[in-house]
Amino acid sequence: MSTAALSPAPTARSSRSDAVFRWTFRFLALAPIALIVALGVELYRASQASRLAFGWGFLTGSAWDPVFDHFGAWPFIFGTLVTTAVALVLAVPFGVGTAVFLAEVAPAWLRRPVGYLVELSVAIPSVVYGLWGIFVVVPWLQQTVEPWLGQEFAWLPLFQGAPYGLGFLAAGLVLSMMVTPFVVSLAREAISSVPRSQSEAAYALGSTRWEVVSRVVLPGARSGIWGGVLLAVGRALGETMAVTMLIGNRPAVSSSLFAPGYTLASVIANEFTEATTPVYTSALIEIGLILFAITLLVNLLARIFLYRMSRPMGGTA
Amino acid sequence: MKRPGRSLSLRRKLTSRCMLGLCGLCSAVVLLPLLLLLFYVARQGAAGLNWAFFTQLPAPPGASGGGMANAIVGTLELLGIAFVLGVPLGMAGGVYVSELANEHLVLAVRFAADALNGIPTIVTGIFVYSLVVVRMHRFSGLAGGLALAIVMLPVVLRASDEVLRLVPHSYREAALALGATRWRVVRDIILRAAKRGLVGAALLGVARVAGETAPLLLTALGSSQWSLRLDQPVASLTMQIYSYAIAPYDDWHRQAWAGALTLIAMIVVTSAAARAWVGRRT
């Protein structure tokens, strides 16, 4: 970095020890890169039996039959997409709204405790969300929310069938609680990084507070908000324990949110140690490979948005 | 001519009020379930806690009584292994990124650490299973600790990177001007100046993995016994909460809540300590 130019002319011995130091640390620092590569290679290698047996059809096949060793990942891909969609439909608007409230509206004494609570919700273990979901959210959905939705919105295919409690809706709802803090904290950061002078200029032109927020602040914070949303997507896709405890664990494709389902992560958590044949294990590892590839892609996209945000913006920063 | 203007501005003011009010409502909707969750865990957990919970082994299925003593010890064992493996490596990465690397490599390592941080931990579990459990022919605490270390690594790396960058540039320049080598600068100046922050970074890593369940299911497996040997399956609070929560026994549910309260207390204390250490900059 910049100080390197300031190094004094070193003696032979010190420059050798410095080189050892530098190379040792470079080697150690490459661990994250090496781990990502190793993860990909190992998952690819260990899923070979399944890839050979089912080919690309694995992605679209909907059979999941351990008895006859026939496996397809479609019900899990479907379940992952549905729960992630439910989570985001709730997390994005509420998360951005909360971020606006915290950054622009809330009185100073309220910001700190609310911000702390939001951060705390990231630290709560997934399995605790699942526990709470089983004993509080599921009975509430089953007895109150789902019968009401089924009655009032009976014409929607989303709300059909018996109120089962465990299912896409329960998993998606708790998942939305778990990913909202990512949206809130990144959107909040992005909002406060919009130069004050821009909103002041808008106020000077006679804008109301909401007009400043919606036409100046939010557009300026766009790439940070997108980054937060994508991070939330990445979390939602890979979230395991809470979803495993709430989704009902049935490899079925259904248009109703009341129905039980399964996700990529939860089938691994639930069946991995019980897999009896090599092909079964290999199919579960291939599901892990799918999950790895998707989340890696989503996270790289998220980081591109976030790095763009951290660079100084046009105008006075 | 005045009237339309005034009503227009009234409408704009009302819209502004309503929309900002909606934002406040959003916060309430976000916070309410969270407060409910904390309330439930505190209430149910406190009701489930007793002396036996901390001192006894799990009771056989269906029998009441017993505790999670082995799971608490197992969690500490797993965190210990993860700490020993993950913290030095993460900090070495942090030192390299903030002190030594050229710009391209800095970007690549940070990018990779962030990406690794976003990979679902269950995938890390499969990786360690395939690499360690399959080769050792058994589930073990060692494999569990290794999985946690991999999850911890990017957190510690990024946190220590950030802490080290807070050390004023003039320290480095002064030391270099006195003829110190880069190694001496890092060892005697930078690491000392950032000592508190680095402790915080390590604690942050611990708090991040203390609540992990998924990777442990595939590596440490869980156990209902004391786990004194690291090459044998090890219990953890998280796995115990999971298996008790989905079991049909009331007494196990009670203990699951107690376990959740214990776990959250551990994590909150650790991350508060981490924040305090990181926050108190030199």
CATH for A259: 1.10.3720.10
Q: Average pLDDT by consecutive 10-residue portion of chain A (317 residues)?
A: 48 75 90 97 96 94 91 96 97 96 92 89 95 96 92 88 91 97 94 92 93 94 94 96 96 92 96 93 97 96 84 44
Nearest CA in chain A to B259: A128
Candidates B30, B103, B169; nearest CB to A180: B30
Nearest CA in chain B to A134: B245
User: A123 touching B, CB under 8 A?
Assistant: yes
Number of domains in chain A: 1
User: B122 touching A, CB under 8 A?
Assistant: yes
- Portion 20-59 of B in contact with A at CB < 8 A: 20, 22-27, 29-31, 33-37, 40-41, 44
The answer as to whether A6 is a domain residue is: no
Candidates A1, A121, A273; nearest CB to B34: A121
| A131-164 confidence digits (pLDDT tens) | 999 999 999 999 999 999 988 898 888 898 888 8
User: A113 touching B, CB under 8 A?
Assistant: no
| A268-299 confidence digits (pLDDT tens) | 999 999 998 999 999 999 999 999 999 999 99
The answer as to whether A16 is a domain residue is: no
User: B255 touching A, CB under 8 A?
Assistant: no
- Portion 158-177 of B in contact with A at CB < 8 A: 169, 172-173, 176-177
The answer as to whether A21 is a domain residue is: no
Q: Average pLDDT by consecutive 10-residue portion of chain B (282 residues)?
A: 61 92 95 96 94 92 88 96 96 92 88 95 97 94 97 96 92 91 89 93 95 96 88 95 94 95 95 81 43
| A26-48 confidence digits (pLDDT tens) | 999 999 999 999 999 999 999 99
The answer as to whether A236 is a domain residue is: yes
The answer as to whether A17 is a domain residue is: no
Q: Which residues of chain B lie closer than 8 angstroms to A102, CB-CB?
A: 27
Q: Is the interface score ipTM higher than 0.90?
A: yes
Cβ distance of B100 and A28 shorter than 8 Å: no
User: A157 touching B, CB under 8 A?
Assistant: no
Domain extent for A116: 48-310
Q: List, as one string, the DSSP characters of chain A.
A: -GGGGG-----HHHHHHHHHHHHHHHHHHTHHHHHHHHHHHHHHHHTHHHHHHHTTHHHH---EETTTTEE--HHHHHHHHHHHHHHHHHHHHHHHHHHHIIIIIS-HHHHHHHHHHHHHHHHS-HHHHHHHIIIIIHHHIIIIIHHHHHHHTTTSGGG-S---SSSHHHHHHHHHHHHHHHHHHHHHHHHHTS-HHHHHHHHHTT--HHHHIIIIIHHHTHHHHHHHHHHHHHHHHH--HHHHHHS-------S-TTS----HHHHHHHHGGG--SHHHHHHHHHHHHHHHHHHHHHHHHHHHHHHHHHSPPSS--
Q: How far is A222 from chain B (nearest CA, A)?
A: 17
